[in-house]
Amino acid sequence: DIQMTQFPSTLSASVGDRVTITCRASQNVRRWLAWYQQKPGKAPNVLIYDASSLESGVPSRFSGSGSGTEFTLTISSLQPDDFATYYCQQYNTSSQTFGPGTKVEFK
Partner 1 sequence: QITLKESGPTLVKPTQTLTLTCTVSGVSLSARGVGVGWLRQPPGKAPEWLALIYWNDDERYSPTLNRRLSIAKGTSGNQVVLTMTNMDLADTATYYCALKYFWNGYPSTWGQGTLVTVSS
| Binding site residues, partner 1, CB under 8 A | 1, 32, 34, 42-46, 49-50, 55, 87, 89, 91-92, 94-101
Q: What is the dihedral of CA 88, 92, 93, 95, to 10 degrees?
A: 20
The nearest distance, CB 19 to partner 1, in angstroms, is 19
Give least dist CB 62 to partner 1, A: 15
Q: Report the residue number, 83 or 91, with the smaller CB distance to partner 1.
A: 91
The nearest distance, CB 21 to partner 1, in angstroms, is: 14
Tell me whether residue 9 or residue 12 sits nearer to partner 1 (CB atom).
Answer: 9
- CA–CA distance, 71 with 23 (Å, rounded to integer): 5
